[in-house]
Each structure stands twice: as structure tokens, then as C-alpha cells.
Amino acid sequence: MFVAGDIGGTKSNLAFFELHAPGMKPIFERTLPSRDYTKFEDLINDFLGSTDIKARRAFLSIAGPVQKGVCVTTNLPWTVDRDHLETKTGLVQVELVNDLLANANGISMLAETDFVTLNAGEPSPGTAAVISAGTGLGQAGLYWDGQRHHAFPSEGGHSSFSPNSPIQSELLEFMRERLGKEYNTKVAHVSVERVLSGMGLHNIYDFLKHKGELKEPDWLAEELKISDDIPAAISRAAFEKNVEICVEALNMLATIYGSEAGNLALKLLATAGVFIGGGIAPKILPKLKEPHFMNAFVEKGRMKPLLQKIPIKVITNSKTALIGAAKAGREQFSRLEASIR
């Protein structure tokens, strides 16, 4: 028995898996709100104490760069240390990997019903790419060895936001000023995550409100004041009530999403496909199916014909990273047991 986990900026999915059982069916599963815990070991101990099932090992995917068994989380106030966890939880072995690495690793375990196709394209053997907007923005790749894909991590979500239109240039300047004040610096780095994520949608909305050309309804202003999930409230107002400022905010988000997905496809030459993961895409599928996303994806000058052939699929299974962590954990811990025998 071992624990697999997908530790995100908003929620953490954890489950017990049998090491030698066929398939990837969890024995016990629980979702915990990540932000309710000041220390990561408290979250793990809460999960471990919620059942009589015992495990000695854990394989955890976490939102942030993992270096030498340590991850300083980007959107949570944690430093997660593998060795420290083994001391504080009673687990004898803990392995940490980047969450998008696990997400990419889990794709091969999904069924066709776990995807929605945005562009059928003309797939060919080669590298694939994963881009996932949620609490933050994650990116990863899958290289092809001639027989199977192997996932590799990236922190591309923290690369610089590059505008592709006059209004996006205004958005960049708005974010530079906002972050400059927040961090007391004259030269503020604006990562693409700042405009392509849950907080990204909130920032885009604030920019459009600041610009003043689209009005915020009074009822929405009151709702946003008390909302504990402002991006979701903005999306609801767009889809359910067709509020113009919210519709335009989603249009901008979808355009930026398509452009950044196209950038990643070019950087990795992802001829095998681009997979859209994360919590946002399934919730705004109707918007992603509109021209904004695809037009921005392919508009890369002379590379447009290449990009038009790349398949694009949205992952609708919210447990993909958990499945990927379980798959990697089973492979690694099984090899360890075999070497001991």
C-alpha cells in the first residue's frame, strides 16, 4: 500500500493505492482544502489519520519546482521537504515531483471520454505538450523515445507575458504598475501566469474595469465583494447573464490561453498534440470552442501551417495528476521492492 497525492494551490487530492493491484483504482480517497493548512505535514497527517489503512510510502505531485527533494510552493506558504516529511509523518519514503509532470504522466491512463477535442489536426509521432491553467499556470512536455512518451517538467508558466495586441499591451502595463506597487520595485516581472490562471482572470477583469469602457453592474460589484471565488463569479456572470465586461474578460483569457499554448507547441515542436489540463479549461469549454483560442494558437506567422496540424485536446478528468502520481509511484516502489528481494 502507498499514498499518491496531487497537491494543488487550491485543493489536494490524496488516495491509498495497492502496490500490486491491477489498474489504478484507489482504496480510499479524500480531497482537502490546501489553504486551510499552514504546514504541509499537517495536511498529510490529517489524511493519514482519516482511515485505519496504513502505508509506508508516498508519491506526491506538488505545484512548484522540485529540486533535490524540496519544493518551495509558488502559490502556497509552504516549503515541502521530503526528508522532513518522513520525520513528521511516519512514512519511511516520500517522493516529490512537479504536479504538471504527474499530470503529463497520467494522460496515457485516460480514456477517450476523458478528453474534448478542440482541434483534430494531423498527429504525428513526436513530442507532446501539456499546459494547465488553474490556481496557477503549469506546463510540461512528453518526449517520444520511439515506443512511448516520457514526461518532463517545466516552469514555463513563470516566463514573461508577451502581448499580441494593443489591448494586451495595455494589460501588460497595468500589471507592471500593479505588481510594482505590490513588490515595491520599478521593474516588475509579469509572468504569463499573472494573466492566465484563476488570479489571471481576476486581473484581466480588474484591468477592464480600470480601463472604464465596460461598466461593472452594481449587483455584480456587490457579489464580488463577498465572493470567496471571484474568478468563478466572473465566469458565471459571463455565461449565465452575458455581462459584457465578464464576457470580454473571458475572451481575453481564452485568447491569451491559445497564444501561450501555441508558444509551447512551437518550443517543444509538439507534433503529437497539445493537452489542456487544469481546473479552468473544463469550466469554460464553450469559450475555448469559440474562435478566440484557436485563432491565437495558430497565428504565429510562417509557422501557422505547422500549428494547424497539431491536435489539441482538453483533459476533463480532474484526477489526472493523481492518477499520474499513482502510476509513477507504483512503478518506482515496485522496482524498489524487486531490488530488495
CATH number for the domain spanning 292: value is 3.40.367.20
CATH number for the domain spanning 49: value is 3.30.420.40
| Mean pLDDT lowest among 10-14, 117-121, 320-324, 330-334 | 330-334
Answer yes or no: is 128 within a domain: no
Cell of 155: 516552469
pLDDT at 239 over 70: yes
In this structure, the answer to whether residues 276 and 177 fall within a common structural domain is: yes
- Compute the distance between CA of residue 74 and CA of residue 191 in angstroms, rounded to an integer: 12
Residues 62-89, mean pLDDT to the nearest whole number: 93
pLDDT at 341 over 70: no
- Compute the distance between CA of residue 259 and CA of residue 160 in angstroms, rounded to an integer: 13
Q: 211 lies in which domain range?
A: 157-315
Answer yes or no: is 309 within a domain: yes
Give the CA radius of gyration of the chain: 21
In this structure, the answer to whether residues 327 and 286 fall within a common structural domain is: no
Residue 335: its pLDDT value, please? 85
**pLDDT, mean over the chain:** 95
Per-residue model confidence as pLDDT tens digits over 95-114: 999 999 999 999 999 999 99
Cell of 294: 484557436
In this structure, the answer to whether residues 252 and 191 fall within a common structural domain is: yes
pTM given for the model: 0.94
Per residue, the 3-state secondary structure of 160-180, as one string, reads ECCCCCHHHHHHHHHHHHHHH
Per residue, the 3-state secondary structure of 236-258, as one string, reads HHHHHHCCHHHHHHHHHHHHHHH
User: Residues 251, 292: contact at Cβ < 8 Å?
Assistant: yes
Q: Do the strands 93-98 and 57-62 form a parallel or antiparallel pair, or are they unpaired?
A: parallel
In this structure, the answer to whether residues 164 and 16 fall within a common structural domain is: no
How many domains in the chain? Answer: 2
Say whether 15 sits in a helix, a strand or coil.
strand
pLDDT at 87 over 90: yes
Q: Cβ neighbours of residue 156 under 8 Å, at least 6 residues apart?
A: 139, 192, 264, 267
